[in-house]
A and B are shown apart, each in its own frame.
Chain A
Amino acid sequence: MPLLQVGGLGKRFGGFVALQGIDLSVDAGERLGLIGPNGSGKSTLVNCLCGALHHDSGNVTFDGRAIDGLPAYQRTRLGLARSFQLPKPFRSMNLIDNLRIPLLYTVNARHGARLSDAAIGERCLGLLDDVGLADRAARLPRDLTQVEMRKLELARAVASAPRLLFADETMAGLSPSEVEEILAVLVRLNDQGITIVLIEHIMSAVMSFSTRLVVLVAGQKIADGVPQDAIRNPEVERAYLGE
């Protein structure tokens, strides 16, 4: 049984059809790449699946449970996490407290998983260490560079102990070496058992990371398969290169 199953998902904003009839399944442990030109509906799809937006039609099941209508915080508690396209750190809090929030509200909210304050502090430091930010634990997010901010965003998403992580344009605007750093973090997270859906414009990164590729164009899925095959799909070539 797939970890995430999406059937006939649709979303409209007034007269604009943002998503139409999206069918998608993601297996546990998978590395899925989600690509598409600007405005193709990638972020809208992530927002619908994570509960930030409510879809108009279709259904979503996560780990065999229907999650349609569940608010975002409950989906996070079930194990669906996301990072944001533009980093959204808690600006008034130091890095430790940024990670403390999901630990307190997600991990500790799960039945039988109550962590002590000391254990939470330790886990926060461990997560920061995993992304190379342990030495900045007491700093505020405004002291971080762009790539560090992206790492904090990933660490905060991972702090909720997710089973599936949507990494939404985590590498946008980064230099090639910084892209490599983020990719290494994502591979490590996947090795730890977290299923990852990578939404990205940087094709080299998507191709090296993904084991499967889904392509969206104008709110519709036009390709789904092995990355090398998916990008050779004539519809995908037309969408990216024109007629």
Chain B
Amino acid sequence: MTVYSPPGSDGAIVAYESRYDHWIGGEYVPPVKGQYFPNPSPVTGQTFCEIARGTADDVERALDAAHGAAGAWGRTSAAERATVLNKIADRMEANLEQLAVAETWENGKPVRETMAADIPLAIDHFRYFAGALRAQEGTLGEIDDDTVAYHFHEPLGVVAQIIPWNFPILMAVWKLAPALAAGNAVVLKPAEQTPASIHYLMSLIADLLPPGVVNIVNGFGVEAGKPLASSPRVAKVAFTGETTTGRLIMQYASENIIPVTLELGGKSPNIFFDDVSRADDDFMDKALEGFAMFALNQGEVCTCPSRALIQRGHYSDFLAAGVKRVENLRQGNPLDTDTQIGAQASNDQLEKILSYLDIGRQEGAKVLIGGGRSDLGGELSGGYYVQPTIFEGTNTMRVFQEEIFGPVVSVTSFSDYEDAIKTANDTLYGLGAGVWTRDINLAYRAGREIKAGRVWTNCYHLYPAHAAFGGYKQSGIGRENHKMMLDHYQQTKNLLVSYSPKAMGFF
């Protein structure tokens, strides 16, 4: 067991600056209006740095820098850009522990998670897109004996990226890696709840990128995000967030006739068929871990398996074992490597979760474990901790239909395969789902019938590069985490070439 010291304190392996301006054109630039806002750690609720409060003027400066850099960056060879991405990955790997502690301090998630998942995945993501870019090639079509259609990939130019707070570094990298690989310059706005992590990352990698290729404008959605997303100077907007803002971004994009990619959340079903409990073996143990995965990252994951559907034949026994599994989860100081559940990322997130615990009870959902705020004592008393909570109820309840974004699962039963699929698909969303069974034919059928972009089959919450990730229904547009995301950051240029010296004969 290790307990890391808070960044900047005695014995800490990493420190944040006391203030972050905007990163524009390869240097830090203070905000035009001169305003800053405090950035608290959810671990203690105490402010640890202040952040530039960006406005439209700052966005314009960042767009100037990006447009200045986009041309040259887009013309670099694939080999050069891939080398840059690989160097970024190497630099991150050499500083993995520091990045993990820094992100944990800002987001509240356990350091064992940032060490084992967030940062290693981010590193691999850069390497994946470095490789994908090297292997990408255009196409040619022989239209006829003298005519050839060549298809080239070209960068879009300058793209806007708006990043969520639940995985401040990994979500930024999911967007940065394909955009940079494809040869675009980026203006990125981190979430106002977690704006500092990306600046710590930039402090490690800035020298590897030409000035202006990556620009970071901090600030609030309405003041900095909106002018960025609605700017006629961006060629694409990528956003991860919720449905109303997603629609608003599409509305802005429609004014400029530019594409968007959106990842907008879910209410993911996690289905446990009867045969899971046929033996008390490794697979049963894995399935119970899969059930408890709703509490991973404090439930602040768009694919949180927040609806557990358990078949009636083993319902009572499996649920009892699941409750026991959750009872044994360790909540505590996120900087302790033994901690499995840390703090919610912000006070308003805490309040929202508590409001759902309230309506869940009012609707008659039964609380099997948890159900309230956790006070961990000492300096952690000011932090934003929620007990892992299991509700038992029916799929029409609001706690079954809405994304709570907390460590809360709503459990119900199903009778047979048809009932499972009907309940699983009875949601506005379609981002993720889980299917657990020892019957591979059943698993395949269920996976194909569930209307979601990813169906984890006998596993959950794995996010490897090269597995496409994105939503059906109201969960968004586009597929991240896969080479197909390169296409979302590229134009197709067709050269239609005639190799015949003869006139066409029309005129």
A binds B: no
